[in-house]
């Protein structure tokens, strides 16, 4: 009853899939214990948002990123509303967790570990299974999904988990990865992926700053005219910008 009410509420405001997991069923190898984020947490509501096919398939990655930012923004607003709905209707506490950012940058995770691992959350809530690309495959939407979580003190049972292996082991994701980041099964080479998918992220910023330090005033003037500086400047105020969707784009599951 509560689960159906929350599911209906979330889907009415734009979530494509909604699942539930009791905290005891969520296991992430690296993310902190959910109790450290929200004392008294009992369950999580996991929502998924479908990427736009035209955007994922676009050769122009600004277009892919524009759609992703739309999904991130909608999910952030919806998470706030779903959390408010839970707090008002059920007198329970609720805390939204972001799609990806902000991330803890200073601890041992160094910007690579989310407060909640959305893939493990989606898996625990019966929304999908891990594929060869180490992403979650949903039975209806395939890989083209982003996931978010709302933690709550409300006691909710886990939805049934998916036992079927949805990955066809076609190997397309491994072949299509321009950084060869998926060569080792069960592990994404994060540094290779990061360097290719976020050229204007932290690595690119450090490289640019280091080239600036020690350069002559004349060289510095020229460095400020480099396109890389303009890209870094833009990423600085827009936020994390992905430049690659290949493993998601080539996955054939759920694509008609």
Point out which residues bind ligand B12 (CB under 6 A).
28-31, 99-100, 103, 112-114, 116-120, 123, 130, 133-136, 143, 145-148, 186-188, 190, 193-194, 197, 242, 244-245, 247-248
CB of 128: closest distance to ligand B12 in angstroms? 7
Q: Which is nearer to ligand B12, 113 or 223 (CB)?
A: 113
Q: Cβ(197)–Cβ(176) under 8 Å? A: no
In angstroms, the CA 142 to CA 145 distance is 7
Q: Which is nearer to ligand B12, 2 or 196 (CB)?
A: 196
The residue whose Cβ lies closest to ligand B12 is: 114
Q: Report which of 17, 145, 11, 24 is spatially closest to residue 82, judged by C-alpha positions.
A: 11
Q: Which is nearer to ligand B12, 90 or 254 (CB)?
A: 254
- What is the secondary structure of 176-193 as a DSSP string? H-TT-TT-STT---HHHH
CB of 223: closest distance to ligand B12 in angstroms? 26
Q: Report which of 181, 154, 130 is spatially closest to residue 21, judged by C-alpha positions.
A: 154
Q: Which is nearer to ligand B12, 29 or 217 (CB)?
A: 29
CB of 219: closest distance to ligand B12 in angstroms? 31
For residue 43 the two structure tokens come to: 């369950």
Residue 19 host element (H or E): strand 17-22
């Amino acid at each position: 009853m509560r689960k159906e009410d929350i599911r209906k509420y979330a889907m009415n405001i734009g979530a494509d899939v909604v699942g539930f997991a009791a905290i005891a069923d969520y296991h992430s190898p690296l993310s902190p214990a959910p109790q450290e984020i929200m004392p008294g947490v009992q369950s999580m509501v996991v929502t998924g948002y479908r990427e736009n096919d035209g955007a994922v398939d676009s050769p122009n990655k600004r277009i892919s990123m524009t759609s992703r930012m739309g999904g991130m923004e909608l999910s952030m607003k919806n998470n706030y509303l779903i959390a408010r709905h839970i707090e008002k209707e059920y007198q329970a506490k609720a805390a939204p967790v972001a799609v990806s950012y902000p991330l803890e940058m200073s601890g041992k995770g160094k910007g690579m570990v989310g407060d909640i691992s959305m893939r493990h959350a989606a898996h625990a809530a019966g929304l999908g299974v891990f594929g060869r690309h180490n992403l979650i495959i949903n039975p209806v939407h395939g890989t083209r999904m982003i996931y978010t979580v709302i933690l709550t003190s409300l006691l909710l049972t886990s939805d049934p988990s998916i036992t079927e292996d949805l990955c066809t082991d076609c190997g397309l994701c491994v072949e299509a990865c321009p950084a060869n980041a998926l060569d080792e099964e069960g592990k994404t080479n994060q540094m290779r992926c990061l360097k290719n998918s976020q050229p204007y992220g932290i690595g690119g910023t450090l490289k640019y700053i280091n080239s600036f330090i020690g350069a002559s005033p004349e060289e510095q003037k020229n460095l400020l005219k480099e396109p890389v500086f303009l890209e870094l400047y833009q990423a600085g105020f827009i936020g994390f910008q992905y430049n690659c969707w290949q493993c998601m784009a080539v996955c054939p599951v759920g694509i008609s």
